[in-house]
Structure 1
Amino acid sequence: MQVELGNGLKSRAPGAARAALCLVLAFTLSACSGGVLGGLVGTGNNPTPTYDLTAPTNFGSLPRRARGLLAIEQPTALQILDTEKVVIAPNPGEVAYLSDAQWVDRLPKLMQARIVQSFENSTRIRAVAKTQDRVNADYLLVVDIRQFGIQAYESPLAVVELSVKIVYQRGGRIAAGTVLTSRVAAGGTSGQPATLALDQAFSDVLVQMVKWTSRRI
């Protein structure tokens, strides 16, 4: 059950969802900025504004080109994040959905596409693909979405936190792991400013991810 909170928010009612809320203060939201795609999806007089995430193109100084083939798995996430809906935390321990914004696709699927594009843009990996492409990769990049959304109960803040592991394709041994985090001040908690801040935070994490991975494969 969801309850309208006003100001573009839909609250997830307590009960079965309470366990998820306690496990996650993982907020989900996404961004509309510069090259970010924005549009309207829906029927009737009030279509829902739809936002995309962007892949960075500027990575600063990078190590030499890696020789291995890297496959990107679709990121994992708890159910509250595995959606095209945009999530916000209006109060500590509370998770809500924005009613005036949605993603172009489920967040894990969208994130996988932008991770692949980021590595392609960096030109520092010999080849990169999705695991669904069934390539014979040397390494797998495994990502878990820990936080992705707006913390709105103080000054609005976009928070992105991803757990990242490099796994050898042969044998499945973990080669390296880290947690990448970015926090960006948001200009508001409605769809456009909230998604703008999240896109900026996500882009920062993607730059960190490309640099960290390139030095280890």
Structure 2
Amino acid sequence: MIRQALILATALSLSACISFGADPPDSLLNLTATAQVAPGRTNTAASAQTVTVLVPTVPQTIATQRVPVSTVDGTVAYVKDAQWVEAPNRLFQRLLSETIEAQTGRTVLTPRQFDFDPGTRLSGELQRFGIDAATGDAVVTYDAVISVAQGSGENSVRTRRFEARVPVAPVEALPVGAALNQAANRVAAEVASWIDEQSRG
């Protein structure tokens, strides 16, 4: 019993000294699609009519689960206690996929399923996903690239920049998360409309 008491005392003293990183915030931020696919809905896609959404690339400023604030002097800070449940580019990919399928009715594949049907492939770079301190806006900027399979076996490549801004105050975790979610949904809806237009054209 004495030995067990010594082991317990040692463990308690070590736990008071060792830190495994900052404590996580009370809640984590997430993206929720405004347009959602109804449960039980099934799709049948004709050849080359699917859409594959790839994970966007990101600059180093948003290659993190924290929310960046671009300041007037060009430096970058981060919103206190604001943290995404996972990397924002992966959250945005899923938001795009859900919105495109719900809004256009087309079958959306994951990158691993792309070989099943080389239809339209959406890639791009998530340039901005944070707060603009100069304007007080939550900003989402996405440079989209679509590669559309043609009947001849060739691909047509088109690009377009999308951006949405939503005012946010105060610059705190919950208002920032809500504003970025709103801006991300606006961009996703515009991307879905663009893809639909390109496929019909």
TM-score with structure 2 length normalisation? 0.73
1:101 aligns with 2:45: no
Does residue 186 of structure 1 match 2:178?
Answer: no
Q: Secondary structure at the match of 1:207?
A: helix
How far does residue 92 in structure 1 lie from its aligned partner after superposition?
A: 3.2
Shift of 1:209: 0.7
Distance 1:118 1:207 in 2: 6
- Secondary structure of the corresponding residue to residue 50 of structure 1: coil
Q: Which consecutive residues of structure 1, in runs of 5 or more, have no partner in the other structure?
A: 1-42, 59-65
Matched, 1:142 2:123: yes
Equivalent-residue separation in structure 2 for 1:172 and 1:76 (angstroms): 25
Mark the CA change 1:102 to 1:151 in structure 2 (over 3 Å): closer, same or farther.
same
Q: CA deviation at 1:116?
A: 0.7
Identify the structure with the greater helix proportion. 2
The reply to whether residue 159 of structure 1 matches residue 139 of structure 2 is: yes
Counterpart CA distance in 1 for 2:192 and 2:22 is 42
Residue type at the aligned position of 1:196: A
Whichever of the two has the greater Rg, that structure is 2
Q: Give deviations 1:57-90, integer Å, cap 9, x for gaps.
A: 28xxxxxxx9611101110111221221211123
Aligned letter for 2:158?
A
- Taking only aligned residues, the RMSD between alpha carbons, in angstroms, comes to 2.4
Contact 2:97/2:108 (CA < 8 Å) preserved in 1? yes
**Does 1:47 pair with 2:24?**
yes
Answer yes or no: is 1:84 the counterpart of 2:84. no
Compute the TM-score of the two structures, normalised by the length of structure 1.
Answer: 0.68
Alpha carbons of 1:166 and 1:45: their partners in 2 closer, same or farther (altered >3 Å)?
closer
Question: Which of these residues, 86, 108, 113, is aligned with residue 128 of structure 1?
Answer: 108
CA contact (8 A) 1:56 1:121 kept: no
**Cα deviation, residue 125, structure 1:** 3.9
Q: Give the deviation of 1:210 after TM superposition.
A: 0.8
More strand by share: 1
* CA displacement, residues 24-57 of structure 1 (integer Å, 9 cap, x when unaligned): xxxxxxxxxxxxxxxxxxx999531311012122
Q: What SS does structure 1 have at the residue aligned with 2:174? A: helix
CA distance in 2, matches of 1:73, 1:196: 24
CA contact (8 A) 1:138 1:169 kept: yes
Aligned residues: 166
Whole-angstrom CA distance in 1 between matches of 2:88 and 2:98: 15
For 1:172 and 1:104, the matched residues in 2 are separated by 39
Structure 2: segments with no counterpart, 5+ residues:
1-19, 37-44
Question: Percent identity among equivalent residues?
Answer: 27
Preserved CA contact (<8 Å) 2:95 2:185: no
